[in-house]
Structure 1
Amino acid sequence: MDLLIYSFLILICNFDLATTQEEFSGPFCGLSGNYTQNTDYRHNLDDVLYTLINTNNGFGFYNSTSGQANAAALCRGDIQPENCRRCVDDATRRIRQQCPVQIEAVGWYETCFIRYSNRSMGSINDLVVFYAWNARNVSDSSIVQWNKGVADLLSALLPEAAGGGQFRKYSSLNITPPGFWTIYGMMQCTPELSEMECSDCLYGAVSLVQPLNRSLGNTNIGIIVGPILAVVFAMIMVVVFFTFRRRRLKRNLLSSSSILEREDEDNGEMNSFNLSTIQVSTNNFSQENKLGEGGFGPVYKGTLQDGKEIAVKRLARNSRQGLVEFKTEVNLIIKLQHKNLVRLLGYCVKGPERLLIYEFMANNSLDTFLFDANKCKELDWAKRSNIVIGIAKGLRYLHEDSRLKIIHRDMKASNILLDNEMNAKISDFGTARIFGGNQMEAATDRIVGTYGYMAPEYAMEGLFSTKSDVYSFGVLLLEIVSGQRNNLYFYQDQPQNLLLMAWRLWNENKGEQIVDHRLIQTSAIDEALRWINIALLCVQEDPQDRPTMSTII
């Protein structure tokens, strides 16, 4: 029976903390041993993890299979879609980093869970259980009320979760016994289970929740999590934890904003916009003005009173990660001036609002053209060549020609904006890092960026340098030449890994088969093959073997 592959420790239905991914729990790197490099399983695993993020069923369940490799992920039922996607994307990177050569692995954040294995998910019956306790005791006189309250809560949760539809099987409730604290609970199954399978699985998990028994020394409020089964738990501790966390976060935001305002006022290099001006220009951040959403938060189109069009990036509320990115982007981009970098016009800090105001790019981002079946026809070879050269010049400026040596760390098609003449401008510097002096490399435990564009040393070990940006440029270059996403590449109507297929075709002297078939009439094949050759040099496994951006240009 295909048991639930997912659970979470904490739930308060009105709080969404998907933006504060702080601890990746586990991971359990499996008991099936290790795989070796350049094996079919390694390639299969690369494929499923590349494609996993694009398999959302619309309700937070992801499932991907390639050869012997199987991967699945599930988000907590109350998490917003964009935050769910971010969580799964980050968990995919972290699990490969922490289990680099293991055949199977399991790991989770507070808000999402991921697992991969060489076994089908339907054959996995492993049970991973861990316990945590709230240090707050239940008094002798309250034990009966507590046990009854928990039993009533679990009895109400189970049929609601099991009876969910084919897309989501989730329930969350709370009850407040007379004279007692509020008890919160949640249950969830993977959606492909039948009602009976989910119910049986949940009954098994419920049986592990032991009633409080003073004679057994069980005096604390218990919490149980079964990551391969279902989550069944009740807690008081969560209310205290989240209240403290939210208050502490609010204090940090306030203190950080005051520091930010002082820094910006001192340097005198930035325009400060009034919040009311931005609200009017964006029709109060209306849905009609929304251009999209990224890791920072939503982006809106605005029109100032003089008719000038702007793009406004709005920091997501309660986002600690976003605040760091906001400060990074402001402090970096005010020092950068290049025609192939998006221009920051100003900022706004008012109360909880953090806004970045950019020049508006009439043609949105490269991915909206490159991966659209109709709009991609507008990208003939001349336009694509111009875009590639623009990106390369922008990266060279960041790495070698600006006052600072800057590593972008998230080069991808959606971060390349296009003006009304289809010139490329690199955007989104929220994850960028500055290198000082002769620094060549740095390491981090906080992996940011997008899986599929990341250099292997960065994804696995947290090591980044200008050469990790070069790797991302190589992936992007292959996408521009082929017209397909690196994790959704099709060759002879079969899904493939773009990098692996490009290497194979190149070694077989069939490089022209990588070129977008829509370009055959407008491209110079020799030039296209030269771009492919450069791309493959950029994605070599050893960073030292990759060229610099000045060499490429």
Structure 2
Amino acid sequence: MVVTQTCFGFFLLLSWGTIVTKAKTQIFMGSNCQNTSQEPLSIAYQANLDKILAWMSSDAATSKGYNHTSIGINTPVYGQYDCRGDVAENFCQFCVSFASREAPKRCPNRVSAIVWYEYCMLRYSNESFFGKILTHPTWHALGTKNVSNMEEVRRGEGFVKSMISKATQESNHLYYLGSFNFSSTQKRFGMVHCGRDLSNEACRQCLEALFEQTHKCCEQNIGWSIWSGTCMIRYDDQMFYRLSNQTSSLPPSNDETGESKDYKFVIILFFICIVL
């Protein structure tokens, strides 16, 4: 059975002056438990699942924010984790470790699962999904402020399109972030990111598929996020990412540049989900 899930959400962004998410918990963004059987997993599959969850948790401590593998022959489990492109290694490892513990709880007795947190995504299945685009189900989160006119919408669209183009260039590792001066007193910030098992072309297709959905769900809001199992887009009037060596997607005169800043946000999500 093909499960199509649409989730509508609202989020509040609260400034957080210190890094507290690292210490205790991760901000849950959504999950998809892909099969519907309530039967217990076989002993062999459960053993391999436990192994791959443990592997992802430990591997994230030494990787560059992404990896995937499979364990088992007759009852294989395929697993992958992917951290947001601006996230430091210690944040990545903590998020993946947390997700590896929580995924089986959110999807009990499921052979396939995807869980999204603010800084990382973790996925496992009994079938190989590496390199494949997944644009359903999708989740959205919407800000509380609305745009004032269509010119604001058009400028936001152009900005997101430019980031998609930049992210899918060979040197940018399927992720890009940037900002631009919306007015003399306001900025707009954005990020696009794809699972790093995708090709550049697959990443572009995934991001463009999500972008098309924003015309119906999101573009009338100043702040919004949309994401699927393999890519995400976020756009806001508040800075939500950490700057490192990544350059912005617009000319230097309009970019947000400089040292890494400790801006953190708590995202409170309220979802209404329809499963077809």
The alignment's TM-score, normalised by the length of structure 2, stands at: 0.69
**What does residue 53 of structure 1 align with?**
57
Corresponding residue SS for 1:232: strand
Deviations 1:222-273 (A, max 9, x none): 523122242123112x45x99xxxxxxxxxxxxxxxxxxxxxxxxxxxxxxx
Corresponding residue SS for 1:209: helix
**What does residue 30 of structure 2 align with?**
26
Superposed counterparts of 1:158-169, under 5 Å: 158-165=164-171, 168-169=173-174
Corresponding residue SS for 1:208: helix
Corresponding residue SS for 1:210: helix
- CA distance, structure 1, for counterparts of residue 80 and residue 176 of structure 2: 20
Superposed counterparts of 1:307-322, under 5 Å: none
Q: Does 1:81 align with 2:86?
A: no
Q: Does 1:184 align with 2:192?
A: no
- CA distance, structure 2, for counterparts of residue 72 and residue 180 of structure 1: 41
The answer to whether the Cα contact below 8 Å between 1:18 and 1:84 also exists between their aligned partners in 2 is no
Superposed counterparts of 1:26-175, under 5 Å: 26-34=30-38, 36-56=40-60, 58-67=63-72, 68-122=76-130, 125=134, 127-139=136-148, 143-165=149-171, 168-175=173-180
The equivalent position to 1:205 in structure 2, one of 195, 210, 228, is 210
Corresponding residue SS for 1:228: coil
**What does residue 224 of structure 1 align with?**
225
Q: 1:78 to 1:211 in 2, by over 3 A?
A: same
- CA distance, structure 1, for counterparts of residue 126 and residue 138 of structure 2: 22
Unmatched 5+ stretches in structure 1: 1-8, 243-316, 320-553
Deviations 1:373-395 (A, max 9, x none): xxxxxxxxxxxxxxxxxxxxxxx
- CA distance, structure 2, for counterparts of residue 88 and residue 77 of structure 1: 14
- CA distance, structure 1, for counterparts of residue 194 and residue 263 of structure 2: 28
Deviations 1:337-373 (A, max 9, x none): xxxxxxxxxxxxxxxxxxxxxxxxxxxxxxxxxxxxx
Superposed counterparts of 1:220-299, under 5 Å: 220-221=221-222, 223-236=224-237, 238-239=238-239
The structure with the larger Rg is: 1
Deviation at 1:26, TM superposition (A): 2.6
Deviation at 1:51, TM superposition (A): 1.2
The answer to whether the Cα contact below 8 Å between 2:133 and 2:202 also exists between their aligned partners in 1 is no
The answer to whether the Cα contact below 8 Å between 1:188 and 1:230 also exists between their aligned partners in 2 is yes
The answer to whether the Cα contact below 8 Å between 1:35 and 1:103 also exists between their aligned partners in 2 is no
- CA distance, structure 2, for counterparts of residue 38 and residue 212 of structure 1: 40
Corresponding residue SS for 2:160: helix
Deviation at 1:156, TM superposition (A): 1.7
Whichever structure has more helix as a proportion of its residues is 1
Deviations 1:75-103 (A, max 9, x none): 11111111110110011001122323211
The answer to whether the Cα contact below 8 Å between 1:131 and 1:222 also exists between their aligned partners in 2 is no
Q: Count residues with an aligned counterpart.
A: 225
Higher relative contact order (CA 8 A, sep 6+): 2
Q: 1:15 to 1:74 in 2, by over 3 A?
A: farther
Corresponding residue SS for 1:175: strand
The answer to whether the Cα contact below 8 Å between 1:77 and 1:188 also exists between their aligned partners in 2 is yes
Q: 1:165 to 1:184 in 2, by over 3 A?
A: same
The alignment's TM-score, normalised by the length of structure 1, stands at: 0.37
Deviation at 1:110, TM superposition (A): 0.8
Deviation at 1:59, TM superposition (A): 2.1
Whichever structure has more strand as a proportion of its residues is 2
Unmatched 5+ stretches in structure 2: 1-10, 242-261, 265-276
Q: Percent identity?
A: 22
